[in-house]
A and B are shown apart, each in its own frame.
Chain A
Amino acid sequence: AQKITQTQPGMFVQEKEAVTLDCTYDTSDPSYGLFWYKQPSSGEMIFLIYQGSYDQQNATEGRYSLNFQKARKSANLVISASQLGDSAMYFCAMRESQFQGAQKLVFGQGTRLTINP
């Protein structure tokens, strides 16, 4: 069963508008972490933001915020005041419990975000 679901293959947004990228997850582990990464056309995966399952508040990092709804098992990424440089693939990932000292991340299919001038 797919553990991370990103239902939006592509999104088109006007520059300076806010955009929400959806992510739902499935796990029975009470301890987990949720990550968002950005992948420009160059290929590098860039870490954006993290939300832990026990965190009481939604995570924020500059223009990025995470709308964490634990009961719904959703962790949507919100980008405020979008910029042309935000055009990229965005991946949601989940870390379940660690194994043998290293972590295991499961990634979603990704959403391709295009910012129009």
Chain B
Amino acid sequence: ETGVTQTPRHLVMGMTNKKSLKCEQHLGHNAMYWYKQSAKKPLELMFVYSLEERVENNSVPSRFSPECPNSSHLFLHLHTLQPEDSALYLCASSQDGFAGGHGDTQYFGPGTRLTVL
């Protein structure tokens, strides 16, 4: 595997279900991100982990729970979601600590398309 992978690619769940999204990066990066992409809205940053520590949580509802067990893996645990949570969820990683340049470019996975019924 290369780059950033995400599983599953598609997920349909009811509002009472519990599911998890998985992201794995094979780039040796030290920071990982969760984004939400809804129709007709810009990408919204949800969570940021740097060196496995959460450094940003953009006021995301508690029904979304991230987990970063190590620098290569990132999970997003979902429970009691709402239909408006249906979206494409993108994971990204970067190598941070660069003083300029694009050495800290974020590289994205293919996303998980989530539908909440």
CB distance A99 to B42 under 8 Å? no
- Could you list which residues of chain B lie within 8 angstroms of chain A, going by C-beta atoms? 30-31, 33, 40-43, 45, 48-51, 55-56, 88, 90, 92, 94, 96-97, 100-102, 104-111, 113
Is B108's CB under 8 angstroms from A45's CB?
yes
Q: In the complex, how many angstroms separate the beta carbon of A113 from the nearest chain B beta carbon?
A: 17
* Shortest beta-carbon distance from A97 to chain B in Å: 11
Chain A residues whose CB sits within 8 angstroms of the CB of B92 once the complex forms: 45
Is the C-beta of A57 less than 8 angstroms from some C-beta in chain B? Answer: no
Q: Which 3 A-B pairs have the closest CB atoms?
A: A50-B102, A45-B108, A102-B50
- Tell me which residues from 27 to 86 in chain A have a Cβ below 8 Å from any Cβ of chain B: 31, 33, 35, 37, 42-47, 50, 52, 54
Closest to B3 in A: A44
Known contacts A44-B111, A101-B96, A102-B96; is-contact A107 B43 (Cβ 8 Å): yes
Q: How far is the CB of B63 from chain A (nearest CB, A)?
A: 23
| Interface contact B42-A102, CB-CB below 8 Å | no
Contacting residue for B113 out of A43, A109, A110, CB 8 A: A43
